[in-house]
Structure 1
C-alpha cells in the first residue's frame, strides 16, 4: 500500500516558495512507487488531506512573532477534526522567521501536542537574513521524513 507525505507550506514570497519547492523536490526525488508526495498551501488543506497522509511537513512564516495567519487558519478549520483521527502522525516543521522563531515554535508545538502528533526532529527555525543554506536545510528535513516514511521508521 502506498504511503503519502503531505507538505503544507505558506509561501508569501519568492524565497518561501523556494523553500516549499526544495521540500517537495527532495522528497519527490527520493519517493518510490510506495511513496507519494503532495504540496499544498494551508489555504487549500482540508481535513481529509491530513487524515490520508502518513506524514506531514509544515512550513510557515513568522509574522509579528507568531505563525502565519494562513497556517493558523488551517489549524482553526481542521484541528477539532484531526484530534481523534490523526493521533501519532509524524510531523516536521520549518519556520521562516524574521525574529528568533521562539513564539512561533512554541505555538505550533502546543498544537502538535494537543493533536498528539510526533515531531520527527527539532523545529527548523530559519531566522535572520535570507541564506541560501535554508534551502538545503529544508530539503534535508523533507528527505529525512520521506526516507523515514518509506522505510517504516515513522
Structure 2
C-alpha cells in the first residue's frame, strides 16, 4: 500500500491560530495513523503542486472583515485553474477562527470549493467569539478524522 498525503494549508498569524494549526497536526500525526504523510504549509507558501500531490486537504483561515484571510485567497488565486481539472473530488475540510460569526468566510470558501468540485468530508468548523480551550480538541479531532479517513481509504 502506498502512502497518502494530507495537505494542511493554514493561515496562523496569532498565538491562538498557531495553537489551532498545531492541534490539527497533533491529530493528523496520531500514533494509530500508519500510512499518511502530512504536508503543512502557510497559504503563501502552498501552491498547486502541493494540491496535485495531496489525497486530501484541510484549510484553516481567520475571519478577516467577514471574509477569508488574504493569504488563503492568494492560495486559491494561484492554485484554482492549475488544479481544477485534475483534483476534482479531493476530500476537504475547513476550520475558521472567527471573531464574529464566520458566515461570510464560510460562504466564500464554500463557493470556491464548489467551483473546484472538491468533496466536503464534514461541515466546516467555526471557532467563533472569545477563545475557548475546547477549540483545540475539536481541531485535533479534525486532523485525526482526516488522517484516519485517508489511512483507512474511507475517502
TM range (shorter): over 0.9
Q: Does the 8 A contact of 1:10 with 1:59 survive in 2?
A: yes
**Counterpart-to-counterpart distance in 1, 2:55 and 2:24:** 16
Match of 2:29, SS state, is helix
Q: Does the 8 A contact of 1:24 with 1:38 survive in 2?
A: no
Match of 2:78 in 1: 77
> Is 2:39 the partner of 1:31?
no
Match of 1:99 in 2: 100
> Is 2:44 the partner of 1:43?
yes
Q: Does the 8 A contact of 1:31 with 1:37 survive in 2?
A: no
Match of 1:59 in 2: 60
**Counterpart-to-counterpart distance in 2, 1:147 and 1:122:** 17
Q: Which runs of 5+ in 1 are unaligned?
A: none
Deviations 1:63-110, CA, capped at 9 Å, x for gaps: 000000000000011111111111000001000001101011111001
* TM-score after normalising by structure 1: 0.97
Cα offset, 1:150, TM superposition: 0.7
RMSD: 0.8
Deviations 1:28-59, CA, capped at 9 Å, x for gaps: 12431x21112110010021101101000000
**Counterpart-to-counterpart distance in 2, 1:27 and 1:131:** 21
Q: Which runs of 5+ in 2 are unaligned?
A: none
| Poorly superposed stretches of 4+, deviation over 2 Å | none
